[in-house]
Amino acid sequence: MDTEIYADHAATTRLREEVLEAMLLWLREGYGNASSLYKLGRTARKAVENARRTVAEILGADANEIFFTSGGTEGDNAALRGVMACAAGRHIVSTAFEHHAVLHTLEALQKTGCDVTLVQPDRSGHVSAEEICAALRPDTALISVMTANNELGTIQPIPEIGKIAREKGISFHTDAVQAAGHIPLNVRNLCVDLLTLSAHKFGGPKGVGVLYLRRGTPFIPYLTGGAQERGKRAGTENVAGIVGLARALELAAAEMEEEAARLRVLRQRLTEGVLRIPFVRENGGGDRLPGIANFSFTAIEGEYIAMMLDQAGIAVSPGSACAAGSEEPSHVLTAIGLDRAAAKGGLRISLGYGNTEADVDAILQALSPAVEKLRAMSPAWAAMRHMGML
């Protein structure tokens, strides 16, 4: 594998060495089924329950409010389907720039008779609590708003929305998959009933996540099967994954302040450098996660820039990895008001653990000639030149 600089931490992160170390025992010797009654099973159960306590403590939750899942997509599905399966009202309020794990689940719920209102974010990539409130109806049963957007990094006013939801007795879910490990997440302060996490976004393994479910929240699990996770999530527990998730969250929480400050400085350096390239705009602003930056490059597509950087050993992304290969522009960038061309010109650079100043300088060094080369081949750029716009 010859990627030299990895700057796509919003897509996934490298497994931390300390996490791998913690997992190895459970992959090698500790292979028991956590539901088995003999010693091998009981030891695995103990590891799962220790991990649950660690996660609960970091999130400010009770251990019996933490349910392990297979990741963010499952957590989002479980939350939305689980609440709507037993809600009296049929209306859901969410936003137009949620991850597809939420948006496509909402589409599926619409087919079962639910009614969905999607609030548009503003140009800077934020929704307001007032706009969410204005979208509520007497039959609203669920609000789902992401803690931070995965393409822009913009942080949403979750505690304010949570207070409104609580006052009105509406269940409130937040997809905190991008935010986890980067900003403090305390479920009581956030005032949420359900919250989704995924380990691979903060130095943990892929295929394991958490659903926080506040005690008393009406919920019917959509997975049917065994009685694992106190009947809320059937399926044999991924013991090594769960141990890895807890260790990764613990490390991220301990290093958060310092790492966030470091990433903010790196992103500032990156942004200043990128904006020196002519006809570039930064997408998203205001309150943001420390490592994510998003830019649109006039007259060229982000996908081609990412491909050229890949040839230089640099991994960045035109948008969400889940939408890769799609002909459509990013639904996030169009939701904040970019036209189709500008949205196709989007490029996300997400810095994270292990990135250095030298990485940022190398990205900048490769980016400028890549943009120049692509524009030299771009009919849109030629047209702009012809019209005297350059």
- Residue number, 154 or 298, with CB nearest to ligand PLP: 154
Any contact of residue 101 with ligand PLP (CB under 6 A)? yes
Any contact of residue 72 with ligand PLP (CB under 6 A)? yes
Any contact of residue 150 with ligand PLP (CB under 6 A)? yes
Integer Cα distance of 230 and 226 in angstroms: 10
Which residues does the annotation mark as catalytic? 322
Any contact of residue 73 with ligand PLP (CB under 6 A)? yes
Any contact of residue 322 with ligand PLP (CB under 6 A)? yes
Instruction: Give burial (CB, 10 Å; 0-12/13-18/19+) of 59.
Output: buried
Question: Is residue 256 within 8 Å of residue 250, measured between CB atoms?
Answer: no
Integer Cα distance of 179 and 198 in angstroms: 10
Closest by CA position to 93, among listed 127, 134, 144, 138: 144
Any contact of residue 303 with ligand PLP (CB under 6 A)? no
Where does this chain touch ligand PLP (CB under 6 A) — which range of 68-76, 163-171, 271-279, 281-289? 68-76
User: CB under 8 Å to 45, separation ≥6 — which residues?
Assistant: 34, 35
Q: Of residues 154-183, which lie at the interface with ligand PLP (CB under 6 A)?
A: 175, 177-178
Any contact of residue 71 with ligand PLP (CB under 6 A)? yes
- The widest CA-to-CA distance across the chain, in whole angstroms, is 78
Q: How far is the CB of 51 from ligand PLP (least distance, A)?
A: 17
CA dihedral 99, 312, 292, 258 (to 10 degrees): 130
Any contact of residue 318 with ligand PLP (CB under 6 A)? no
Selected binder of ligand PLP within 125, 153, 203, 209 (CB under 6 A): 209
- Residue number, 308 or 351, with CB nearest to ligand PLP: 351
**Residues forming a β-bridge with 349:** 293
Selected binder of ligand PLP within 99, 262, 331, 348 (CB under 6 A): 99
DSSP class of 156: P
Binding site for ligand PLP (CB under 6 A): 71-73, 76, 99, 101, 146, 150, 175, 177-178, 198, 209, 322
